[in-house]
Amino acid sequence: MLRLEQDVNVAKRNAVKAQRNDMTQLAMVHMRRRKAVLEELERCASILTNLDSSELRLERAKNDVQLVQSYTLLKTALQDIRASNDIMGSENVEDLMLDIREEMEDVGEIGGDAIIYPEVVIDEDELNKEFKLLEMECEKEQCSEANDDEVQEKQSDERVVQPLEVQQTKGSDNTSSKAEAVAA
C-alpha cells in the first residue's frame, strides 16, 4: 500500500511537470494513472476491511461452536432429567432442541458476500477539476519555495557584503597608518 501511495505522488508530480511544459495530453495521462492507482488503493483498503470483518466472523463462529456444544450438553442433561423424573414429555425437549438448532443456524451462518467490489467509473470532468486543484496547489508550493529561495539569497548576500565592508574598513585603516608612517 505504501508503494501505491508513492505511485500516486509520482503521478501527481509528473502531471504537474507536464502541464508546466504545456504537454496537456501527457498531464492527462498522468492524472488518469493517478486516478487508477487511487482506485486500486481504495480497493486494497476495502479488501483489508473485508478480511478483518471475515476474521471477526470466524472468531464468532468459533464461539458459536462452543455455544452449540453447551446446548448439546443441555440437551443431554434435560433428557437425563426427563428420563429420571419424567417431568417433561419427549416432544417438548425435541421442540426445544429444534428451536435451538434453528436459532444456531441463523446465527452461525457466514455470508458468502463478504468481499464486495464496487464498480469503478472514471468521470473526466471530475478528473479535470481534481487536476486544476492539484495544479493550483503545486503553484502555491512553487511560490513558497521561490520566496524561501529569495530569503536565502538575501541572507547569503548579506554575509558576503559584511566581510567586504570589514575588509574595506581595515584597508582604509591600513592606508591611513601607512600615510602617517610616510609623513613621519
Tens-digit pLDDT profile for residues 30-58: 899 999 999 999 999 999 999 999 998 88
Length of the chain equals 184
Distance CA 146, CA 48 (A): 42
- pLDDT, mean over the chain: 75
Of residues 6, 15, 1, the one with CA closest to residue 135: 15
Burial class (CB in 10 A: 0-12, 13-18, 19+), 173: exposed
The grid cell for 74 is 443441555
In this prediction, residue 117 carries a pLDDT of 44
- Greatest Cα pair distance, the chain, in angstroms, is 141
How many other C-beta atoms are found inside a 10 Å radius of the C-beta of residue 31? 25
pLDDT tens, position by position, 106-117: 766 644 344 444
% of the chain exceeding 90 in pLDDT: 11
Q: What percent of the chain has pLDDT over 70?
A: 67
- pLDDT > 70? residue 182: no
Q: Whole-prediction pTM value?
A: 0.38
User: DSSP characters for 102-138?
Assistant: HHHHHHH---S-----------HHHHHHHHHHHHHHH
d(CA 12, CA 27): 9
**Is the four-CA dihedral 62, 67, 70, 72 of positive or negative sign?**
negative
What's residue 36's pLDDT?
A: 92
Average pLDDT (59-77) is: 84
Distance from C-alpha of 15 to C-alpha of 36, rounded to nearest angstrom = 14
